[in-house]
């Protein structure tokens, strides 16, 4: 439940900061998934460390309780031996004093043994919990490694997809199938040139067939005839007259 609330809050932060477009970015989603996996592993590791730390603490307490029990048992045994020795020596008062000490040690020994049993039981439970925590950390660590490996695979696949998309766009532009942009394709330029050339041919055809064009052609023919006659006059004036051949005869164009 907490993870869902945290994820919803992160998405809300993205929305408020104007980064909604990043939510659909596969790279951002991959990094978010990896970050969450790492965060889960960190929290699990901290909890496991607390459980294992409790095991070590109980182990120290168990060691101290065992040492205390052994010490009380040894003191009680020693007090009994001293009481028996004093009684054998005829020192009854001293023997009773040692017996009282032995009973006091025995009472403490009973309490210490009860505490030792409780501590040993808690330690066994803590040890089982520690084993489970270690196994959980190992399992989650393996899952995190798989997540990191999957991250690398997905990023590599994403790079390949982006490269393929760029190649598709480039090939589409070269083949004239790409989307229209600011720069026209060669096919579009060729189409525009063809249209201009066709329009120019049409205008030339109309201009050539007009009355004005025919009148201009007649005027040019007349000027050609007059120019040829004038050149012949100049030749005769220079005494360079020559017999006219068929090729010298001006021809008019209608």
Q: For the segment 82-130, what is each residue's pLDDT rounded down to a tens digit?
A: 999 998 888 889 889 999 999 999 999 999 999 999 999 999 999 999 9
**Percentage of the chain lying above the pLDDT 90 cut:** 36
Above 60 in pLDDT, residue 246? no
Note whether residue 180 is domain-resident. no
Distance CA 246, CA 231 (A): 16
Split at pLDDT 50, 70, 90, the class of 28 is: confident
**Do 160 and 129 fall into the same domain?**
yes
Domain limits for position 147? 2-174
Q: Which residue has the higher pLDDT, 205 or 188?
A: 188
Above 70 in pLDDT, residue 20? no
pLDDT of residue 253: 44
pLDDT in tens, 157-204: 888 888 888 888 877 766 655 455 566 666 777 788 888 878 877 777
Q: Which two tokens stand for residue 4?
A: 């869902």
pLDDT of residue 252: 46
Split at pLDDT 50, 70, 90, the class of 46 is: very high
**Do 89 and 63 fall into the same domain?**
yes
Split at pLDDT 50, 70, 90, the class of 3 is: low
Q: Which residue has the higher pLDDT, 175 or 134?
A: 134
Q: Which two tokens stand for residue 149?
A: 């490996």
pTM as predicted: 0.52
**DSSP 3-state assignment of 38?**
helix
Q: Residue 180 burial (CB < 10 Å; 0-12/13-18/19+)?
A: exposed
Note whether residue 249 is domain-resident. no
Distance CA 230, CA 250 (A): 12
Q: Which residue has the higher pLDDT, 149 or 251?
A: 149
**Do 127 and 201 fall into the same domain?**
no
**Do 86 and 107 fall into the same domain?**
yes
**Do 116 and 213 fall into the same domain?**
no
Domain count, the chain: 2
């Amino acid at each position: 439940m907490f993870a869902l609330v945290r994820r919803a809050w992160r998405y809300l932060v993205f929305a408020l900061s104007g980064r909604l477009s990043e939510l659909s970015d596969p790279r951002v989603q991959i990094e978010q998934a990896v970050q969450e996996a790492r965060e889960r592993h960190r929290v699990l590791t901290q909890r496991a460390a607390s459980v294992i730390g409790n095991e070590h603490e109980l182990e120290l307490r168990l060691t101290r309780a065992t040492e205390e029990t052994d010490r009380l048992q040894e003191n009680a045994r020693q007090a009994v031996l001293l009481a028996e020795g004093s009684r054998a020596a005829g020192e009854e008062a001293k023997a009773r004093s040692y017996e009282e000490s032995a009973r006091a040690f025995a009472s403490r020994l009973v309490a210490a043994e009860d505490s030792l049993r409780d501590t040993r039981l808690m330690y066994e439970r803590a040890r089982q919990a520690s084993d489970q925590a270690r196994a959980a950390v190992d399992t989650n660590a393996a899952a995190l490694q798989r997540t990191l490996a999957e991250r690398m695979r997905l990023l590599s696949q994403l790079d390949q997809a982006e490269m393929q998309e760029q190649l598709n766009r480039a090939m589409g532009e070269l083949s004239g199938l790409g989307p229209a942009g600011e720069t026209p394709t060669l096919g579009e330029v060729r189409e525009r040139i063809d249209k201009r050339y066709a329009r120019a041919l049409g205008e030339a055809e109309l201009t050539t067939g007009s009355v004005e064009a025919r009148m201009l052609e007649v005027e040019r023919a007349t000027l050609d005839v007059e120019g040829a006659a004038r050149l012949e006059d100049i030749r005769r004036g220079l005494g360079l007259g020559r017999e006219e051949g068929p090729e010298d005869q001006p021809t008019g164009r209608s």
